[in-house]
């Protein structure tokens, strides 16, 4: 049997997925780990955890499926974006990686805008400077840990640290690379102007590659650690959201990918570099050659429902909580939830934004709270989608949803009504790891283009259509959007 291996290096686990030429998942395995919060608003992780997780997940996928390593024809990589992995001359880790959800770099974001100019920064990179991105993390280390910065000879992103351990190569795909805001979005490679202005030596940045490119092969050390055969091609892959878009087939304009996990993402493909003038939605390169994408990110999506369950009703399962919410009519009897529990990125790049229930009365109970949370998350996702459409993207003809929250038929219907679009799911829940395997299939020679790989492998099933409630939700959305400007002064004073 011929197979490809997709590896997803996420914030909480590394996943390995084995996929056959028809796109069927043969085996999957995951290895979990944690991350550290050494100070409030900080988020760090040891890169060694990713490598240990990759070894464990790969070996368990082999063992549990009975797959011999010689059946693997190529390896594709994906993972959490924006993290800063700093290595010395020998390739050893200088300090723990600063992760995408770290919020310490507000002053560094201001410094980037001061040096580059906010308009020029958005013009080149497609993005404003936000705390989640890689560039402000590098400036933070320059300023606060100059001894560590003096040792840095390589900067990588999380999945690319695993790549280096597999093959010895210092390489990055253009989708993940553009998420550093050190990229020239149109040129699809590092921006000499941005690097020079931010005092980041070009020589410490990895080589850039399109998603289906072969960046190297498994070397002897990688083979000894994982069981993979030396010489197996390693494919560039993509950041988790672009790989997930490949995995659900969102590779053409009009087909939107929506991810409803702890965070929430709306992802739309473009045929050229499209930028939202204020930088309120992200503009990155796609893992598909010669395509780009825009992306709206909210920090607490399904994570908001988890918070409600844990804080108010820990005795209930999520299924029970959602079933209770189904008893409440659309609009939650006037109750509105702002899902900014951990700050926000889209459309309000504000780490000090906070969550809120507005409109509470004595008639509301847990059922209303649960439905209001689900509706508030959908309204937050619509904010990102509206910004993309206003920037010139076509309205979606279909939204392909993935992530744990989309298992709920009620939440899928709320999304269809709030976003006013058909919601569909695909035949696998492996997400980004599955997309990485499809990109790897090009390296295996199974397909000539990403479009061919998606057409061959991705099965789509519509699961929700907009109902009459969409008109009610359109009116509710205007009330939702009025709340952040009204409450932001209070959030900031808190």
Mean pLDDT along residues 162-184: 98
Which domains occur in the chain, in start order?
3-243 (3.30.420.40)
- Using one digit for the tens of pLDDT, what is the confidence trace for 204-231? 999 999 999 999 999 999 999 999 999 9
Res. 101: pLDDT tops 90: no
Q: How sure is the predictor about 40, in pLDDT bands with cuts at 50, 70 and 90? A: confident
What pLDDT score does 24 carry? 96
State residue 417's pLDDT score.
98
Tell me the mean pLDDT in the region 51-66: 97
For position 173, what pLDDT does the model report? Answer: 98
pLDDT band at 85; cut points 50, 70, 90: very high
Average pLDDT, the chain: 96
Residues 320-372 have pLDDT tens digits of: 999 999 999 999 999 999 999 988 989 998 889 999 999 999 999 999 999 99
The answer to whether 386 is a known catalytic residue is no
pLDDT of residue 1: 78
Looking at residue 403, its pLDDT comes to 87
Q: Residue range 420-446: average pLDDT?
A: 95
Per the model's pLDDT, the better-predicted residue between 352 and 77 turns out to be 77
Catalytic residue among 8, 56, 213, 240: 240
Query: Tell me, what's the pLDDT at 200?
Result: 98
Average pLDDT over residues 24-52: 95
Secondary structure, 3-state, the chain: CCEEEEEEECCCEEEEEEECCCCCEEEEEEEECCCECCCCCCCEECHHHHHHHHHHHHHHHHHHHCCCHHHEEEEEEEECCCCEEEECCCCCECCCEECCCCCCCHHHHHHHHHHHCHHHHHHHHCCCCCCCCHHHHHHHHHHHCHHHHHHCCEEECHHHHHHHHHHCCCEEEHHHHHCCCCEECCCCEECHHHHHHCCCCHHHCCEEECCCCEEEECCHHHHHHHCCCCCCEEEEEEEHHHHHHHHHCCCCCCEEEEEECCCEEEEEEECCCCCCCCCCCEEEECCCCCCEEEEEEECCCHHHHHHHHHHHCCCCCHHHHHHHHCCCCCCHHHCEEECCECEECCCCCECCCCCEEECCCCCCCHHHHHHHHHHHHHHHHHHHHHHHHHCCCCCCCEEEEECHHHHCHHHHHHHHHHHCCCEEEECCCCHHHHHHHHHHHHHCCCCCCHHHHHHHHCCEEEEECCCCHHHHHHHHHHHHHHHHHHHHHHHHHC
Per-residue pLDDT tens over the stretch 274-333: 999 888 899 999 999 999 999 999 989 999 999 999 999 999 999 999 999 999 999 999
Express each pLDDT in 364-422 by its tens digit. Answer: 999 999 999 999 999 999 999 999 999 989 999 999 999 889 999 999 999 999 999 99
């Amino acid at each position: 049997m011929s197979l490809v291996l997709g590896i997803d290096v996420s914030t909480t686990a590394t996943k390995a997925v084995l996929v056959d030429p028809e796109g069927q998942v043969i085996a999957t395995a995951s290895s979990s780990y944690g991350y550290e919060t050494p100070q409030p608003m900080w988020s760090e992780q040891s890169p060694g955890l990713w490598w240990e997780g990759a070894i464990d997940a790969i070996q368990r996928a082999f063992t549990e499926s009975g797959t011999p390593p010689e059946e693997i024809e190529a390896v594709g990589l994906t993972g959490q974006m924006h993290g800063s992995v700093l290595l010395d001359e020998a390739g050893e880790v200088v300090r723990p990686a600063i992760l995408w959800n770290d919020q310490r770099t507000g002053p560094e974001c201001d410094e980037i805008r001061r040096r580059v100019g906010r308009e020029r920064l958005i013009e080149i990179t497609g993005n404003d400077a936000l705390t989640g991105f890689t560039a402000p993390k590098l400036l933070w280390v320059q300023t606060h840990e100059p001894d560590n910065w003096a040792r840095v000879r390589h900067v990588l992103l999380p999945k690319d640290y695993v790549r280096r351990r597999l093959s010895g190569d210092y390489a990055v795909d253009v989708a993940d690379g553009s998420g550093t805001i050190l990229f020239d979005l149109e040129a699809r490679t590092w921006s000499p102007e941005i690097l020079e202005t931010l005092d980041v030596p070009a020589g410490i940045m990895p080589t850039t590659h399109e998603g289906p490119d072969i960046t190297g092969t498994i070397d002897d050390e990688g083979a000894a650690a994982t069981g993979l055969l030396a010489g197996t091609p390693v494919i560039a892959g993509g950041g988790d959201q672009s790989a997930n878009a490949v995995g659900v087939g969102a590779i053409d304009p009009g087909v939107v990918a929506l991810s409803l996990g702890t965070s929430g993402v709306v992802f739309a493909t473009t045929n050229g570099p499209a930028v939202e003038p204020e930088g309120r939605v992200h503009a990155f390169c796609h893992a598909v050659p010669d395509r780009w994408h825009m992306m709206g990110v909210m920090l607490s999506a399904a994570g908001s429902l988890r918070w409600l369950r844990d804080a108010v009703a820990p005795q209930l399962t999520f299924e029970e909580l959602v079933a209770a919410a189904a008893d409440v009519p659309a609009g939650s009897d006037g109750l509105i939830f702002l899902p900014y529990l951990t700050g926000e990125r889209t459309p309000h790049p504000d780490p000090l934004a906070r969550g809120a229930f507005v409109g509470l009365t004595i008639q509301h109970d847990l059922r209303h709270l649960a439905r209001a949370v689900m509706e508030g998350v959908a309204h937050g996702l619509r904010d990102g989608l509206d910004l993309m459409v206003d920037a010139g993207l076509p309205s979606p003809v279909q939204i392909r949803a993935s992530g744990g929250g989309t298992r709920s038929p009620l939440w899928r219907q709320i999304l269809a009504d709030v976003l006013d679009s058909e919601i569909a799911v695909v035949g696998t829940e492996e997400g980004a790891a599955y997309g990485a395997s499809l990109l790897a299939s090009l390296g295996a020679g199974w397909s000539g283009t990403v479009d061919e790989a998606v057409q061959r492998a991705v099965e789509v099933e519509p699961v929700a259509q907009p109902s009459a409630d969409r008109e009610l939700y359109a009116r509710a959305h205007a009330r939702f959007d009025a709340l952040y400007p009204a409450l932001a002064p209070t959030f900031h004073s808190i």
